[in-house]
Amino acid sequence: MTTTALSTARLRRVTLGLALGLVLGFVLYFFSGQREESAFYRGDFPAFYAAAEIVWSGQGDRLYDLNLQREVQNRHWPDFHGDFLIYAYPPFFALLLAPLAALAPLAAKALAAGILLGAFTGALLLARRASPFVRQQFAFVLVYLLSFVPLLIAIVGVQNTALSLLILALVYAADQPDRPWLMGFTAALLLFKPQFGVLFFLFLLARGRTAELLGWALGALLLYLLGTLILGPAWPFTWLQAASQFGTLNFTINGHNMISLAGLAYWGGETLWGNGAAILPWAYLVAGVLLLVSAWYVRGDDRRRVLAPALVLLLSPQTLFYDLAIAVFFLLQGLRPGNRQDLLILAGLWLYGFVALMLRDATSFPLSAPLLLAVLWLHVRRTSLQDST
C-alpha cells in the first residue's frame, strides 16, 4: 500500500472521528441545559436582527440609533437586561437582512445559520474545482473546517465569516482571462464588511487591470444605490460616524479576540502603558506601509495572489478571531494530497484553535493572533518555494 493510499485511509478515519465529535458536542450541549446567552441561542444575531427589524418596520432612518437598537434587542432577548450588541455594518447590508424580521427571532437565527452553512458549502465547492487536495479529500475538508473552532462559532453564532469566504471564493473563481470584470464585481461585494473590502480593493488596484477595476466600481455603485434606499445619498458619512464610534468601543470589548496588527498593538498598549488608544495611530501607519509593500509583492507573481485574504485579515483595522477560517481555507487549498507533513500542520492549527477558545476567558492575551501569523508564514513559505521551482 502506498503512502498516499495509507494517508487516505487514515484521513477517512479522522473524518469520521471529527464528524462524530461534532455531533456528540452538539448532543452534550443540548443535554447540558439551555443557556440563553450562548452562541447557539443568541450569539451575535441580535445586532443583525435588530437592524433587520428597524428597516422592515420602516424606521431605516434610525438604523444607527443605539437607543432603538437597544430597545429592539431587549424586547426580543429580555436576558440582555439593558445590554445590547451594536449594529455598525453599512445600510445596504441591513436592507438585505430585513426579510429576517418577518420571522420570530429563533427561527430567523436558524435560517441565517442555514444560509451561512450554505455559503460555506458553496465556497468549498468552488475550491474543489481548483484544488486537487479539496477535490480528493472533500469530505475531510468539509468536516475539518466545520469543526475548526473559529468557523464553527461563526456559523452557530451567526457571524459573517462564511459569507466573506463565499465572496472571496467567487473572486478567485472569477479570476479568468475572459471575465476580468466579474472578478472586480464580486470583489466589490466584500464591501459589506468595508474594512475587508477596501483593503482587498488595493490589491486589485496594484494589479492595474482596467476591466477588474471597472467591474469593482460597478459593484460598489450598486451597493451604494442600495444604501440610499435606507439613508439617502449621504449615507456613507452617517455610516462612517457610526462605525468610528463602534470601532473605538470594540477595541475595549474585543481586544483579546482580535487577530489584526492593530488589535495586537492595542493590546500591547493597554498591557504595557494602560493606554492602547495612544498606539493605534502608529499601528495604522505601520499597517498602511505593510499594505503597500504587500500589494507590490503579491502583484509580482500571480501565484502569490492567494496571500491577499490573509494579509487583509492581518492589516485590517479590526479583525476578530472568527475570520481565521478564511486564512486556513486558502492555505488548505494548496495542500499536497497524501502529504503527511501538511496533514500534521492542519492538525496543529485545529488543536491550537480549540485550545485558544478554551483559554480565552482565562487570559486577556489575544491567543488567536499567533495562529494567523503562523498561517500567513506558511502561506508565504509555500509561495516562496513555488517561486523557486
pLDDT for position 389: 52
Give the pLDDT of residue 22.
81
pLDDT of residue 357: 84
* 239 within domain boundaries: yes
Residue 184: inside a domain, yes or no?
yes
**Prediction pTM value:** 0.92
- pLDDT more than 70, % of the chain: 93
Tell me the backbone φ, ψ of residue 59, rounded to 5 degrees: -110, 30
Cβ neighbors of 48 (< 8 A, separation 6 or more) are 87, 97, 100, 112, 158
Q: Do 315 and 294 contact (CB within 8 A), yes or no?
A: yes
**Number of domains forming the structure of the chain:** 1
Find the domain containing 266 and state its range.
3-383
Asked if residues 259 and 313 have their Cβ atoms less than 8 Å apart, the reply is yes
Tell me the pLDDT tens digit for each residue of 45-74: 999 999 999 999 999 999 999 999 999 999
Q: How far apart are CA 382 and CA 389, in angstroms?
A: 11
321 Cβ contact partners less than 8 Å away, ≥ 6 residues apart:
150, 257, 258, 259, 356, 368
* Mean per-residue pLDDT over the chain, rounded: 89
pLDDT of residue 6: 47
On whether residue 142 sits in a domain, the answer given is yes
**388, part of any domain:** no
Q: What is the mean pLDDT of residues 201-222?
A: 94
How far is residue 174 CA from its own chain's centroid? 20
Domain-located, residue 389: no
Q: Is 215 a residue whose pLDDT tops 90?
A: yes
Residue 39 CB contacts under 8 Å (≥ 6 apart), including other chains: 153, 156, 157
Instruction: Give the pLDDT confidence score for residue 388 in this predicted structure.
Output: 54
The answer, yes or no, to whether residue 5 has pLDDT greater than 50, is: no
